Structure 1
Amino acid sequence: MLGLAHLDRAFDYQIDADQDEAAIPGVRVRVRFSGRLVDGFLLDRVDESDHPGKLGWLERVVSPEPVLGPELAALCRAVADRYAGTMSDVVRLAIPPRHARTEKEEIAERESPRPSAPDTAAWESAYPAAESFLASMISGQPRAVWQATAGEDWPARLAELAAAAAAAGRGTIVVVPDQRDLDRLEAACTPLLGDRCVTLAAGLGPTARYRRWLSVRRGAADVVLGTRSAIFAPVHDLGLVVVWDDGDDSLNEPRAPYPHPREVAVLRSHQQRCALVIGGFARSTEAQSLVTAGWAHDLVADRATVRTRTARVLALSAEDRRIAGDPLARSARIPGVAFEAARAAVAAGAPVLFSVPRRGYIPSLACARCRAHARCRTCHGPLQLDDHGALSCRWCGRPERGFRCAECGGTEVRALTTGARRTAEELGRAFPGVPITTSGGASVVDEIETGARIVVATPGAEPIAADGYGAAVVLDTWAQLDRADLRAGEEAVRRWMAVGSLVRPHASGGALVIVADAGLGPVQALIRWDPVGFAEQELDQRAQLGFPPAVTMASIDGAPATVSAFVDAVELPDGGERLGPVPLPPGVRPPAGSGDDIGDDAERVLLRVDRRAGRRLAAALVAAQITRNTRHETGPIRVQVDPPTIG
């Protein structure tokens, strides 16, 4: 596997008689290429070659384990073509590194019998189209975008889908964003599926992960639960693929060619003719585009069910007159109505959740005089205030003992956002005697005990309450809505609905208070609990403005000269547009360890084409990479098709 665009194809080699038995399609091999030994995979065996020249000999078969089967090879090729990458890069994502000792181990045979069809009453009672979907899942390839209702036990529902597929003798892959979700899903699936089910995640370690991956390839397990790369699992007779919460940025692949599991699932559903479910409490615009195009169908509850299961939602802006006369609310950024809801829940013996966008004490500061962001004089990183009142840089950690604003010369700072610890401190004074729990960063709490309790959590770190929260309050919403990001509104709705899904229904006293202007579109979507309508509006706006997923867009990041030369070599399809160059936004710089070192002065150029020309754009990008390789241009560059962040 050479990893170069101009060498991204199959090469023919001769196989001698001694290797005949072991050299079967899919095995790892070593061959001599251009005078050096390289690793590769044997894709196929034919009697004759079309190559007119002399063929080299296969050096050796590294392992007799056929890890790259025909279906997986076809999927990797399709993903590489979709994302303008090389097949070798996709194969590295799809197949874990080899462990020879693990391959020699005997994989225990599956002991659990085929399960009987599960009880799907919870599906059919809430979602009118569920019965027809489940019926067609057995023999056809239905594709649905599932809108889970507030409070839905989504791990149990997905476990029932997997059990229904297993009862029909079909395999299943379920991809979730992170380990917390995976643990919940595994707990729901194990009673129904037993040892037919395995989990695949990076946290297992290389040996355990390869052992489980082999058990799937050898047919000892046919239900795979996992994070990002589990979407490539070699499940036999695949009947169902599920991606839960596809808008979560944990699913964004940081390694080239940056495939998103949702798009891989779409390709796999098409190639292997299996059912597909994309689900979540909110809805991404990419999932909505599948419904709008008619490629997938809605799997949603009726409005009566939605209203029954949803908490009472109140929206209050920080300028609301009900806050103005409340000194406690002014100091803690919490409206009196929110305190009333929290006190009522605590009095009823229920936990209360406060959602804040940042962890820490006061993690974001500005000049008290001119409101310019407070920056480190050394690295220009943002300054923060710890719980001892000391200023320091969030990037380089240097203490700031004599702050002076670069804009106006002011020497005092004020908080832009207040972190989880500071909020917990304020609430501790407001609710004396009530236990306070914080969750976020490195200290994430998975579950809380029943009873009255105040929980302060950052987005994505909210603990599960067994009987639901009596109330939830979403604070500092402007920090999510004011981001200069195409997906700011979509991400805010996703985060808020995740919080709202943890609150008891309004008939049980549940209340969700969001400190935001009720006239804003994302806030209205929350009040109505209408993620589908919001996704439709977002998709319409992006179609008018020419942004993904209404169009296909590619980003080219790197040093100015490198980006310019590359873009000049790209032959855009008819109607294609070039946007930029602009300085690379700080928020889209490659993460540490991703292998993309594009320099500190990197620029970005965006290429935009009609959605129908997306494959032609990918082919043009590959052709430009080939030209670049043949010219031996080595400057670092990053090419992404449909990047998760535009600017």
Structure 2
Amino acid sequence: MQPGTSGEGADGQLSLLRSAARGHRPRTPEGSAERDPVAGVVLDVPLPHLDRVFDYAVPASAASSAVVGARVRVRLAGQDVEGFVVERRATSEHAGALQPLRRVVSPEPVLDPAVLALARAVARRCAGTTADVLRLAVPPRRAVVETEDRPGPPAGPLPRPAAGPWEAYAGGAALVARVVDGGSPRAVWTSLPGAAGDDWPAALAVLAAAALAGGRGALLVVPDARDVARLDAALTALLGAGRHVRLTAEDGPTARYRAFVALRRGRVRAVVGTRAAALAPVQDLGLVVCWDDGDDLHAEPRAPYPHARDVLVERAGQAGAAAVVGSPSRSAAAQQLLADGWARVVVAPREVVRARAPRVAVAEDDGRDPAGPGARLPASALRLVRESLPSGPVLVQVPRAGYLPATACQRCRHPARCARCGGPLALPQPDEPGGASTPVCRWCATSAPAWACPHCGGRALRSLVVGSGRTAEELGRALPGTTVRRSGGAAEVLASVPAAPALVVATPGAEPVAEGGYSAALLLDTWALLSRAELRSAEEALRRWLQAASLVRPAADGGRVLAVGEAGLAPLQALVRWDPGGHAERELAERTELGLPPAAVVARVTGSPAGVRALLAAVVLPPGASVLGPAPLAPRAWVGASGRRSARTDGDEEAQALLRAPRTAATALADALRAARAATSARKEPPVRVHVDPLDPLEGW
């Protein structure tokens, strides 16, 4: 153990002399606790070279309040910092006097030992610090919550649940039975379309009930607040009120801390939440679930950038819990879990899939000018909409938000770019029909009222991409008298829509649930999702299309899906066949051949050129690892550590390097990066950001 700074001796005498000189009566040093007078403290300090346990003396007045897991305030390098007590001991390895704890912030033991072990494992895997992970795991304190005396869940155990929706899957009923009986099965689950009745929230509620019926806890992580609301309703309907809590930032800091304390005290043992809930202190954990693991919302944008799926996989191993990774599609990372033998696949037989899925077809895009009225809708698409509207709402998925999010010069067709940051110029929706709009940069929000093409001097703009706002406008003109609703982008994200005939124009991920299911779905501009310059473009496109198609009624009830694109492309063929598993196998095989994640581990190092060079000089790479770079990032537009594109000022200088190693050397690479970060931090080298397995490791090159 590492000792804390001594507070007695010369420094202590100097403090007494200063107090006397100021006319203050010196405070008599307080004695230490009689039992276990040493507290091991993990500090809330992000510096890598301080990522260890420090020893402090426990004052007698804090003997009963400085419990393991409590928040404390201590002195470090002349400053007060907060931390958590992680152990109490009788002795310390430090031979000198220990500095005492300054204050016990709260005697509430908020840091669970199992969560601490998980945080250390996640920090090691991500080449980060334990303090960074604990900031994600333990929410800010709300003192009023700790004094509340709230009742626990209803008395009595839950009955053994019926398999319900899981009966439709091969091995589904056995999965539920093993969870009830205390087993630890691991499954990659491809869900059926949900418009016919038993959708994914109902299925996950059954799994949670199975864990509770077996006397264990359940932890379910979903991408966003809309998914939390759907699963929360399903859990309440099956379990009854009071048997689970929600853990999401959207509920506010007080409600979040109240749910956290209820879990830590063991009043409830089931929780549904977003990515930070993967670290929730669920007691007697028996089940972890990651729903829709391909959604990038599961990737934490703050250091050390853990992915909820990876956290839950690690947690299932530590707790001996059952684990389910589910989605309407299947990610390459989930396919890797199957290839490793870590999990078994749970899918429905093909005849069940055909009975539950809508009929899917592809309409070839004729390539006409998208600025023309109605040109983006082939005749077959308009015919589908007109035929399906009388029987219910029709979903129209548009991959881009906004009105005209990308423009080009009308004369020479060069893309219109911002003179300040180089970002694409977009045209917002006119204030009134026929009104003119001023182009605005999508990256830095700078308007360009006097834009002129640097290539030909032209001042007129044409559209390159049509957004959801313009699409809704075009459909309203083509189908007068039809109700048009928008969801996503600048419009409100709708949770649900009624069964009445209407057109619902939504961006990917913002599709509302229709009562009784949509009568049809139209997937526009499929090229836009497939042409993105990133590693996961095909996987992500298929996931978005399957999510939308899963909301459509079965083919037997007239449900149809029409995708506008090139029919021969592999993702569209997988959509037509409703075969996400086959597409995931192909994706993983291609990445294995190229040595790309998840078949290999990649770490991205970004920061100032001097900081990146210092880290690369300090790191001792494991056998088989290689380095690409360092290379400068673009001087204006760059991709930050969160993976999101940002605008930089001219004075910024950024560089990055990629480190790649075989999957068998993933731990060795992470340990090497942690050691290098600690060494460079101790030497006060410029800080850098290390992101292990980013969603798109090639972004920014």
Q: Which band: TM-score by shorter chain?
A: over 0.9
AA matched with 1:484 = A
1:225-236 aligned within 5 A: 225-236=272-283
- The answer to which of 519-528 and 406-415 deviates more is 406-415
AA matched with 2:690 = V
Distance (Å, rounded) in 1 between the aligned partners of 2:492 and 2:60: 59
Query: What is aligned with 2:529?
Result: 480
Equivalent residues of 2:187, 2:343 under 8 A apart: yes
Against the structure 1 CA distance between its residues 175 and 167, is the aligned structure 2 distance closer, same or farther, given a 3 Å change threshold?
same
Deviation at 1:203, TM superposition (A): 1.3
Matched, 1:422 2:470: yes
1:581-620 aligned within 5 A: 581-584=630-633, 586=637, 588-590=639-641, 600-620=652-672
- State the secondary structure of the residue aligned to 1:381: coil
Q: Deviations over 1:294-350 (max 9, x none)?
A: 001101111111111111111122138xx89xx999733111111222111113x21
Deviation at 1:395, TM superposition (A): 3.6
Q: TM-score, normalised by structure 2?
A: 0.87
Equivalent residues of 2:219, 2:287 under 8 A apart: yes
Distance (Å, rounded) in 1 between the aligned partners of 2:388 and 2:543: 24
- State the secondary structure of the residue aligned to 2:590: helix
- State the secondary structure of the residue aligned to 2:81: strand
1:143-162 aligned within 5 A: 143-151=186-194, 153-162=199-208
- State the secondary structure of the residue aligned to 1:479: helix
Query: What is aligned with 1:106?
Result: 149
Distance (Å, rounded) in 2 between the aligned partners of 1:159 and 1:390: 49
Query: What is aligned with 1:353?
Result: 395
Distance (Å, rounded) in 2 between the aligned partners of 1:6 and 1:521: 48
- The answer to which of 582-591 and 24-33 deviates more is 582-591
- State the secondary structure of the residue aligned to 1:61: strand
Distance (Å, rounded) in 1 between the aligned partners of 2:58 and 2:648: 40
Equivalent residues of 1:359, 1:440 under 8 A apart: yes
Deviation at 1:644, TM superposition (A): 1.4
1:293-312 aligned within 5 A: 293-312=340-359
Q: Pick from 409, 414, 421: which aligns with 1:367?
A: 409
Distance (Å, rounded) in 1 between the aligned partners of 2:535 and 2:361: 26
Distance (Å, rounded) in 2 between the aligned partners of 1:21 and 1:190: 38
Identity %: 50
Distance (Å, rounded) in 2 between the aligned partners of 1:377 and 1:49: 62
- State the secondary structure of the residue aligned to 2:314: helix
Equivalent residues of 2:153, 2:243 under 8 A apart: yes
- State the secondary structure of the residue aligned to 1:438: strand
Equivalent residues of 2:638, 2:646 under 8 A apart: no
- The answer to which of 130-139 and 258-267 deviates more is 130-139
Query: What is aligned with 1:88?
Result: 131
Query: What is aligned with 1:440?
Result: 488
Q: TM-score, normalised by structure 1?
A: 0.94
Equivalent residues of 2:497, 2:514 under 8 A apart: yes
Equivalent residues of 2:192, 2:199 under 8 A apart: no
Against the structure 1 CA distance between its residues 338 and 90, is the aligned structure 2 distance closer, same or farther, given a 3 Å change threshold?
same
Query: What is aligned with 1:116?
Result: 159
AA matched with 1:376 = C
1:491-570 aligned within 5 A: 491-570=540-619
Query: What is aligned with 1:287?
Result: 334
Query: What is aligned with 2:3?
Result: none
Query: What is aligned with 1:407?
Result: 455
Q: Pick from 285, 296, 304: which aligns with 1:249?
A: 296
Deviation at 1:156, TM superposition (A): 0.8
Query: What is aligned with 2:238?
Result: 192
- State the secondary structure of the residue aligned to 1:185: helix
Equivalent residues of 1:597, 1:636 under 8 A apart: no
Matched, 1:139 2:182: yes
Deviation at 1:593, TM superposition (A): 12
Distance (Å, rounded) in 2 between the aligned partners of 1:483 and 1:372: 19
Equivalent residues of 1:115, 1:192 under 8 A apart: no
**Larger gyration radius, structure 1 or structure 2:** 2
Distance (Å, rounded) in 2 between the aligned partners of 1:101 and 1:594: 40
AA matched with 2:684 = H
- State the secondary structure of the residue aligned to 2:74: strand
Against the structure 1 CA distance between its residues 68 and 331, is the aligned structure 2 distance closer, same or farther, given a 3 Å change threshold?
same
- The answer to which of 392-401 and 507-516 deviates more is 392-401
Q: Deviations over 1:22-69 (max 9, x none)?
A: 222111122223333321111112223333444333333221111112
AA matched with 1:509 = G
Distance (Å, rounded) in 1 between the aligned partners of 2:567 and 2:646: 43
AA matched with 2:230 = R
Any runs of at least 4 consecutive aligned residues in structure 1 with deviations exceeding 4 A, and if so which?
327-330, 590-599
Query: What is aligned with 2:18?
Result: none
Against the structure 1 CA distance between its residues 15 and 397, is the aligned structure 2 distance closer, same or farther, given a 3 Å change threshold?
closer
Deviation at 1:252, TM superposition (A): 1.4
Query: What is aligned with 1:624?
Result: 676
Distance (Å, rounded) in 1 between the aligned partners of 2:386 and 2:589: 41
Equivalent residues of 2:55, 2:98 under 8 A apart: yes
Deviation at 1:591, TM superposition (A): 5.7
Deviation at 1:281, TM superposition (A): 0.5
Deviation at 1:361, TM superposition (A): 1.6
Distance (Å, rounded) in 1 between the aligned partners of 2:311 and 2:157: 28
Distance (Å, rounded) in 1 between the aligned partners of 2:633 and 2:538: 22
Distance (Å, rounded) in 2 between the aligned partners of 1:430 and 1:36: 67
- The answer to which of 488-497 and 384-393 deviates more is 384-393
Distance (Å, rounded) in 2 between the aligned partners of 1:455 and 1:475: 13
Matched, 1:637 2:671: no
Q: Deviations over 1:373-421 (max 9, x none)?
A: 1112333322122323323213444443343222343333221111112
- State the secondary structure of the residue aligned to 2:209: helix
- State the secondary structure of the residue aligned to 2:56: coil
